[in-house]
Amino acid sequence: MTSLRFRGQLAAFVVISLLAGCAGGGGTPAASLTRSVAPPSGASAPADASASAPAASAGEGAFTNPVLERYFADPFVLKVDDTYYAYATGNLTYNLQVATSEDLVEWSAPKEALRDLPQWQPTSKGLTWAPEVIETSAGFVMHYTARDVQAGKQCLAVAVAEEPEGPFVDDSDGPLLCQYDLGGSIDSHPFVDQDGTKWLLWKNDGNCCGMPTKIYAQQLSDDGLTVTGEVHDLGAKNDSAWERDLVEAPTLLLHDGTYFLFYSANGYNTRNYAVGYATSEDLLGPYTDAPENPILTTTAPVGSPAGQAAGPGHQSIIEDDDGDLWMVYHAWDVALVGDQIGGTRSLWIDELIIEDGKVRVDGPEAEPQPVP
């Protein structure tokens, strides 16, 4: 325990030190610049990576959230054959995490997905975020967020593996893409359109430096390893009161001819973090915010007992074997919100329903519900 506490203090010190440079130009307090991703001293990062983490028992044919009750922030789920692979931001042990499941409910203990970092990235844990994976001719291609040490900005990176569990390898000499003049770039989201064209969506990290945030897209090469062509502003930005200083974590879904662009907004380390969406008839927008936003929010009142969700967000969407859609996201326990006080963002899932062109998420739901 002493060793883990020291590592948490060290990781927090490194993150604060590296991010301090952003505060000088934007006038934004360092504490609110961008998200700290490795849980600090006292948080519930896994001390024993071999320990299993099954979902809570809810009776036959049912499950309860969270389905992975440990630090598993910024989740993304990919299905390959009969197995679901969940990827997440790193912790004090791993650069990036991967876990597996046969049913979206019972998950293996997370393990390392990206063993080694290229030289342009720092060696400290906690600065590799939000991995998402697609399968291409190159293999399994992981897009993730990493820090450019020389520039002092978070940027987009890419790694490749032969198997969906990894190990993924990033042998690059620098970022895949980075909007240095806009605060950096984070939250890669690779998307394959109906004609097979591949795209990469992301957000500029303007909230690190007191600038607006927007969501962008650029075409990917067929192997998913490089970007090509023009950068497109999708018209999605933090311009609503509930979004506060940022929009982030883009997720694109094509449904019945309409592109649904999901995103998270507000402070990740508060109960106000939430999910909204915008729609367009064209992948490249412009996108129009849904009037019912946000669609996934904290519903448990302040002072609620432990076990309820707070600050749900950084969503991804997966289809189960029956064709039903599920939103996968992280959430704090309502009794302990914020990693600076030892909170943990665990893995939750709830059904996503689209009716008459409008989206509804049946959650956050902490009570038993049918297994996907």
pLDDT digits (tens, 9 = 90+) for 307-349: 999 999 999 999 999 999 999 999 999 999 998 888 999 999 9
Q: Quick one: pLDDT band at residue 57, thresholds 50, 70, 90? A: low
Is residue 138 over pLDDT 60?
Answer: yes
CATH number assigned to the domain covering 2-370:
2.115.10.20
Please provide residue 16's backbone torsions phi and psi, each rounded to the nearest 5 degrees. -65, -40
Predicted pLDDT of residue 24: 34
CA–CA separation, 330 and 342 (whole Å): 15
Predicted pLDDT of residue 12: 39
Reported as a single tens digit per residue, the pLDDT across 12-40 is 333 333 333 333 333 322 233 344 444 43
The token duo for 63 is 């499950």
The predicted model scores a pTM of: 0.87
Please provide residue 120's backbone torsions phi and psi, each rounded to the nearest 5 degrees. -75, -10
Q: Please name the helix (run of DSSP H) or strand (run of DSSP E) that holds residue 12, with its range, or none.
A: helix 2-19
Predicted pLDDT of residue 284: 98
Q: Which residues contact 235 (CB under 8 A, 6 or more apart)?
A: 285, 286, 287
Predicted pLDDT of residue 52: 37
Which strands make up the sheet holding 227-237, listed edge to edge?
185-192, 198-204, 214-220, 227-237
Between 90 and 50, whose confidence is greater?
Answer: 90
CA–CA separation, 263 and 294 (whole Å): 10
Predicted pLDDT of residue 146: 98
